[in-house]
Structure 1
Amino acid sequence: MASVTHSDSGSSALDRFPATSEGWRSFPAPAKLNLFLHVIGRRADGYHLLQSVFQLVDLQDTIELRVRGDNQIEHYNPLPGVDPEDDLTVRAARLLQSHANITAGVDIRVTKRIPMGGGMGGGSSDAATVLLALNQLWGVNLSRQALMTLGLKLGADVPFFIFGRNAFVEGVGEIMTAHDTPETWFAVLHPQVHVSTPAIFKDERLTRDTPSITMRDLNVAATRNDLQPVALSQQPRIAESLKWLSQFGPARMTGSGSCVFTICASQSEADRVVSLVPEEMTGFVARSLQKHELSEFAEQ
């Protein structure tokens, strides 16, 4: 069985995330926005073929981890109503532990800031951060591609956060090409509703034949989110938020919702938009990121 070791490269990477006196290390789990989302087809197995640009943003959950000498995995603050064994962070730790035959365990604490059910990939990002961090803490040292393959077992968006860069995404979400995006600011509204992604994809009204585009010819302004019309019909509060935000510029939904966003010319402009959000709505400012802070935690 493998034991916990730290390579020289792993130790230097971990130096940026020092342990507390109690042994906890804190790691970031950034959110993402879908700058667009096209459904271009459907496979024989029912999975939909997509094209999108995934944009990392600085809204982040915090994942705290503490390595244990035994093989137990314990979640210290599970979400209300969620069995800890069903939590993606626990599932990620168990998956890596089993895959690499690791004898050590880990304690987990999660501070949530990314809206749940908002289409910003919070759960997937949390799972990816656990895989990336434990890849170093447990001395597993899997390659990035190996971690991405493992992460796909947990969810379609997990590989993106392990990939660690903004990307043009294809297939069912597993094909990624690094895509440079401009530094920008976003004003984001969270309509406080939870959207069922399966319900969106099962809806007969969903557009499933948008023409394929190439990254070279990509013009985000000419794209759309094919899931948006269905989500608006299912969740009127998303439609209300989108209508309000659209007065400040082109606005669209991210993922299957429920969050909606608009691109702002500056931080001050994004701050101004969010300052005007009505009391019955929830808004926040997000800044674009170029890469995941843990991108060095897995070899290419």
Structure 2
Amino acid sequence: MTLTSLHGCPAPAKLNLFLHVIGRRADGYHMLQSVFQLIDHGDTLDFDLREDERIVRLNEVPGVPEEQDLIVRALRTLQAEFERRFNRLPPGIDVRIEKRLPMGGGLGGGSSDAATALMAANYLWQAGLTTAELMAIGLPLGADIPFFLFGETAFAQGVGDDLQAVSGPDCWYVVIEPGVPVPTAAIFTAPDLTRNTKPVTVADFLGHKPESKDSGGFGKNDLQDVATRLFPPVAEAVEWLGNHGAARMTGSGACVFSAFSTEQEAEQVLMQVPAKWIAWKARSLTKHPMKSLLQINEL
């Protein structure tokens, strides 16, 4: 029996355990290094095949018109690739999304949604594309999409497709949403952005041993100083969470996180977060949950 729907598909958030800007090319593109960590908190998507060939988002997403939605664009791109390969269009898809991740939060919400959509459609359409092929489709749409398709903790370089699996921490995170979206362009165009951090290696990351519990994780987020200067709520969240552990901004902002060894420790801090902020706890993930859901065997 052909499967016609997939409901409750997870689109988890990511954290940048560190984020270094190691240079800038002549064309203005910034060269980055980071480690991406999946966490068990995110959006949820439902997919249903249609009788026609349209891609339709069933519910509104504030601030994101349907035509600009990465989910819709990713599905249409995969649909076109399907037609090229099989000389016919696959059925359309209805998509419903339950948003939990904020826009401009540095958690990769839009990219994660698009990656989940690509995995789900590849499965429903029985298209048979490999993870690498889906990553190639996703990359032009968003630099973080390949990571979510890669689906495990990764040392990242380049434009988002140079990924190497690494062992990440087994821990719990407290994440604060400061309530202000941070436009990525505002950070990367800032004249005071540090762009010459010394490159590191996977071995540097894996060999890092904090001198003390309070010394924080590996490296730093080079975008944080700019974001906290331009957006005071981010600075306030970093300062508050820093009183309870090593706090760091993820991505280009605005969300701020701190790692804890146990769920109990995270819960104790979470209970103290000021009511003006949205905050939550989440555990680190070693694999993207869609991989298990679809029983995908990595090639």
Counterpart in the other structure of 1:265: 261
Counterpart in the other structure of 2:86: none
Aligned residue for 2:289, secondary structure, equals: coil
Counterpart in the other structure of 1:256: 252
Of 31, 52, 69, 1:49 maps to: 31
CA contact (8 A) 1:144 1:298 kept: no
Q: Does 1:174 align with 2:161?
A: yes
Aligned residue for 2:33, secondary structure, equals: strand
* Aligned residues: CA RMSD: 1.6
Are the structure 2 counterparts of residues 192 and 298 from structure 1 closer, same or farther at C-alpha, using a change threshold of 3 Å?
farther
Aligned residue for 1:65, secondary structure, equals: strand
Aligned pairs (5 A) from 1:230-245? 230-245=226-241
CA contact (8 A) 1:51 1:170 kept: yes
Q: Does 1:282 align with 2:278?
A: yes
Partner AA of 1:72 in structure 2:
R
TM-superposed CA distance for 1:66, in Å, is 0.1
TM-superposed CA distance for 1:200, in Å, is 0.5
Partner AA of 1:45 in structure 2:
D
For structure 1, which segment, 264-273 or 72-81, has the greater mean C-alpha deviation from structure 2 after superposition?
72-81
CA contact (8 A) 2:104 2:181 kept: yes
Instruction: Tell me the distance in 2 between the aligned counterparts of 1:195 and 1:178.
Output: 28
Q: Which runs of 4+ in 1 moved over 6 A?
A: none
CA contact (8 A) 2:10 2:45 kept: yes
Instruction: Tell me the distance in 2 between the aligned counterparts of 1:44 and 1:149.
Output: 24
Q: Does 1:207 align with 2:189?
A: no
Counterpart in the other structure of 1:27: 9
For structure 1, which segment, 217-226 or 168-177, has the greater mean C-alpha deviation from structure 2 after superposition?
217-226
Of 90, 93, 101, 2:75 maps to: 93
For structure 1, which segment, 58-67 or 73-82, has the greater mean C-alpha deviation from structure 2 after superposition?
73-82
CA contact (8 A) 1:142 1:298 kept: no
TM-superposed CA distance for 1:189, in Å, is 0.7
Structure 2: stretches of 5+ with no match in the other structure: 84-88, 209-215
TM-superposed CA distance for 1:118, in Å, is 0.6
TM-superposed CA distance for 1:168, in Å, is 0.4
TM-superposed CA distance for 1:173, in Å, is 2.2
Partner AA of 2:141 in structure 1:
L
Counterpart in the other structure of 2:110: 123
In percent, how many aligned pairs have the same letter?
A: 50
Partner AA of 2:117 in structure 1:
V
CA contact (8 A) 2:105 2:253 kept: yes
Partner AA of 1:234 in structure 2:
L
CA contact (8 A) 1:133 1:297 kept: no
CA contact (8 A) 2:139 2:160 kept: no
CA contact (8 A) 1:38 1:210 kept: yes
Aligned residue for 2:202, secondary structure, equals: coil
TM normalised by structure 2 equals 0.91
TM-superposed CA distance for 1:81, in Å, is 4.0
Aligned pairs (5 A) from 1:31-110? 31-101=13-83, 102-110=89-97
CA contact (8 A) 1:141 1:298 kept: no
Aligned residue for 1:37, secondary structure, equals: strand
Instruction: Tell me the distance in 1 between the aligned counterparts of 2:163 and 2:21.
Output: 16
Partner AA of 2:45 in structure 1:
I
Total equivalences in the alignment = 282
Instruction: Tell me the distance in 1 between the aligned counterparts of 2:61 and 2:169.
Output: 35
Structure 1: stretches of 5+ with no match in the other structure: 12-18
